[in-house]
Structure 1
Amino acid sequence: VMALLAGSFLIYARVGAPGVADLPMTERLTDLDTAARARPSQPEAEARARPFLPPATEPDARFTELMDRLRTALRERPNDIRGLSLLAENEARLGNFTAAREAQQKLVAAYGDDVPLNERVALLDLMVFTAGGFVSPEAEAVLGGILKSHPGNGAAQYYAGLLFAQSGRPDRAFPVWRRLLETSPPDAPWLPVIRDEIAALAAAAGVTYTPPAIRGPDADDIAAADEMSADERQAMIRGMVDGLADRLATDGGPPEDWARLISALGVLGETARARAIADEALAVFADNAAALATIEAAAQRLPE
């Protein structure tokens, strides 16, 4: 799956110009809606973005042969899920991003009604990346499907905020990204982009906003860990995880603590326990969309 895009070019919606009189709000919103409907299609956006994407690489002869065989096999078995997954992954690795996006679309279609959430999110990632950070109408349709079935999905909420920003609606984008910034676990992949862009987005929305400080271990934690052996560090981590689990089971806690426990158990290899705790947390925060986004983001990063 492609990494989430960074850079200020992600927010390029025109929100006003000095010396130009403001339009009445209803007229401005009508103009924005008209522009949103007329924005480039996925193929058009990909064609515009192609010169700015990483160039395709030339594989060695053996890899080229394997890719040719895979492509030939898929022409004979076009709905082979394993083959399509390998094709999407390796086309992306070669820098053939449009081919990777097409393979991922076929993979999602091959699953039918049972397509896993991670494959849908991977398709959305590829569509936006291949379009140079632009959320096309086709990508918006994929995004809408994810939000309908998983409204708390962090990646989908990130792209929803991006779409609002690109559509000239910083007033709608800002609260979405602010919620993600303030509730996502520290290793959420969208956080670096949001941290870079949130000040400009807040200003465009007419909001004064100071982002929260980045959380991390304090000096005493680092010093203590540096003096430990590998076994001692593992025991310390285990003790902290068990203590956190006991506290949440007894007293409850904020969604960030539940997400931290889920992630820690995944690192320790206790995936089944992590998933069980994620299910428990989703039930606890069933009426809190922001909390659900935090929990789901942690659960999605668990190993299969």
Structure 2
Amino acid sequence: MVFWILISFVALAVTGLLSLALMRAHEVGEPPAAYDLRVYRQQLRDVDKDLARGVINASDADRVRAEVSRRILAADSLLQQQQSGDSQPAGLSRAMILISAVALIGGTLGLYSWLGAPGYDDMGLELRIAAAKDYAKTRPSQSEAEARLPATPKPQAEAEYLDLVAQLRKTANARSNDAQGQALLSQHEANLGNFKAAYEAKRNYIQIMTGDLEAQDYGELAELMIMASGGYVSPEAEELLDRTLTLDPRNGPARYYWGLMQGQLNRPDIAFRIWSETLRMGPKGAPWINGIEAQIEEMAFRAGVEYRLIDVPGATPDGGPALAGPSADDVSAAQDMTTEDRQEMIKGMVARLSDRLATEGGSAKEWAQLIGALAVLGDRTRAAAIYDEAKTRFGADAASLSLIEAAANQAGLDQ
């Protein structure tokens, strides 16, 4: 309500100023010729005074009187025209005032209805989070999202391949319990861009396999559904992603789509944190890593975070991400340092790692590394606090929790 009162007041104030400017000629002031007439009459009186004092002679006085009298007659004629004429009609001025008022007030309301958000209160952080939760519950379903998409063009492929896929469809439909046939059909339908048919075949595969499934199966089904809806993460796809991450919290594609979904739900803060953690897991060059790197800067801007380039580790021999350690320059510099300086350098590296994990998150290996480093520095109290927080973060991931507990045992925190 305050907003509407404010913009109405501003619009009326601007309209009032325009009205004052348009009507001023009818209400205040005098024609310029009236001022000229007063000046010329004063000049006639001054001529008589100059003649009496002997400043000018009689012939000069007559010549000046004639010239001033001529100007008085011209000014008087002009004054009569200005008083009898209508250089600024009052009716036209009033019409312009009315038009200006309608244009200002109507234009303001129209522009706000187009660019603004009528009906919303001041969107503070709590209201934004509440609105995001409401949208998450009421957002379009998978079928609704697919219905909004334009018709997909026919796939461009060789005729022989199209014939083979058509035959595969017939065979897979005839063998409703053939899991391998459904898996092949899903793959080839996706190759042709028929994502809806692809995820339907993948769903059939999951129903046939029942207990013999991995996290990747649910993640692939979610990805096919997201592709079928044009990149939109529906509630049905969200459920599959949640199941994938429950089984495998480090699943890269699922983490990418989970962050994408948070961005679509107007929670870029959560999306940025998830993507930051995923980038630090690596490996560099993975498809989901490339997708995150292309969008994380914009997500950081939406979240109000100052983005700093994140170094993505490559793959280690065991397939896990490589942890970032001191650079070659750091090692070279440390050799020339005193014991105290070297200790300060290590403390600085540990502090940076701690700050990053607190703000952006990280992998279980990085949390384990921080616990061990704090224990080496003798800060057991802080190491214990980090251990408790890590157990909360990775409580659902048995492998990650085991790694963190091993680091805590080595640091002597469980003793």
Could you say whether these structures have the same fold, taking a TM-score greater than 0.5 normalized by the shorter chain as the test? yes
Q: Which residue of 1 aligns with 2:148?
A: 48
C-alpha distance 50-122 of structure 1, shift in aligned 2 (>3 A): farther
| Residue 257 in structure 1 maps to residue 257 in structure 2 | no
Amino acid in the other structure paired with 2:291: V
Q: 1:96 aligned to 2:194?
A: yes
CA drift of 1:58 comes to 5.3
Hey, what's the Cα distance between the residues in 1 that align with 2:312 and 2:282?
11
Query: What residue identity is the alignment partner of 2:164?
Result: L
Q: Greater helix share, 1 or 2?
A: 2
Q: Which residue of 2 aligns with 1:150?
A: 248
Q: Distance in 1 between matches of 2:243 and 2:285?
A: 25
The answer on whether the counterparts of 1:177 and 1:198 sit within 8 Å (CA) in structure 2 is yes
Give, in whole Å, the separation in 2 of the partners of 1:114 and 1:189. 26
Cα distance in 2 for residues equivalent to 1:58 and 1:123: 24
SS in 2 for 1:257: coil
Secondary structure of 1:23's aligned partner = coil
Distance 1:32 1:215 in 2: 33
Contact 2:282 2:312 in 1 (8 A): no
Amino acid at match of 2:290: P
Task: Give the residue type in structure 2 aligned to 1:36.
Answer: A
Contact 1:155–1:190 (CA under 8 A) maintained in structure 2: yes
Whether 1:34 and 2:99 are equivalent positions in the alignment is no
1:84 aligns with 2:149: no
* Contact 2:149 2:229 (8 Å CA) reproduced: yes
Deviation at 1:62, TM superposition (A): 4.2
User: What is the percentage of aligned positions where both structures have the same residue?
Assistant: 35
TM-score (norm: length of structure 1):
0.62
Letter in 1 for 2:146: E
Tell me the residue number matched to 1:120.
218
Quote how far apart the aligned CAs of 1:43 are: 1.7
Distance 1:159 1:71 in 2: 29
> Hey, what does 2:45 align to over in structure 1?
none
- Provide Cα deviations, 1:58-108, integer angstroms capped at 9, x if missing partner: 555544443333223333321211110111111122222211111111111
CA apart distance, 1:24: 3.5
Which residue does 1:268 correspond to in 2? none
Q: Look up the SS of the partner of 1:28 in the other structure.
A: helix
- For residues 171 and 253 of structure 2, the distance between their equivalents in structure 1, rounded to whole angstroms, comes to 33
* Aligned mates of 1:61, 1:176 — CA distance in 2: 43
CA–CA distance in structure 1, aligned partners of residues 193 and 147 of structure 2:
14
Q: After TM superposition, where is structure 1 displaced by more than 6 Å over at least 4 residues in a row? A: 284-288
Match of 2:290 among 181, 192, 212: 192
Q: 1:24 to 1:63 in 2, by over 3 A?
A: closer
In structure 2, how many angstroms separate the alpha carbons of the residues matched to 1:150 and 1:30? 29
Q: Aligned-pair distance for 1:211?
A: 1.3
1:25 aligns with 2:125: yes
Task: Give the equivalent residue in structure 2 for 1:301.
Answer: none
Structure 1 residue 214, shift from structure 2 partner: 6.3
Aligned counterpart for 1:209 among listed residues 284, 291, 307: 307
- Is 1:143–1:160's contact at 8 Å kept on the other side of the alignment? yes
Provide closer, same or farther for how the CA distance between residues 196 and 67 of structure 1 changes in structure 2, counting only shifts above 3 A: closer
**Equivalent residue for 1:179?**
277
- CA shift in 2, pair 1:162/1:61, >3 Å: closer
Report the CA distance between 1:190 and its aligned residue.
1.1
Q: 1:29 to 1:91 in 2, by over 3 A?
A: same
* 1:266 paired residue number: none
The aligned residue for residue 231 of structure 2 is 133
Quick one: structure 1 residues 50 and 126, their matched pair in 2 at CA, closer, same or farther if it must change by over 3 Å?
farther
TM-score, with structure 2 as normaliser: 0.46
Q: How do 1:221-300 and structure 2 match up within 5 A?
A: 256-257=321-322
Q: Secondary structure at the match of 2:287?
A: coil
- Rounded Cα–Cα distance in structure 1 between residues aligned with 2:320 and 2:213: 27
Q: Which amino acid aligns with 2:143?
A: P
How far apart, CA to CA, are the structure 1 residues paired with 2:212 and 2:174?
Answer: 23
Structure 1: gaps of 5 or more residues: 1-15, 217-240, 249-253, 259-280, 293-304
Corresponding residue SS for 2:273 = helix
Contact 1:50/1:130 (<8 A) preserved? no
Q: Distance in 1 between matches of 2:310 and 2:125?
A: 32
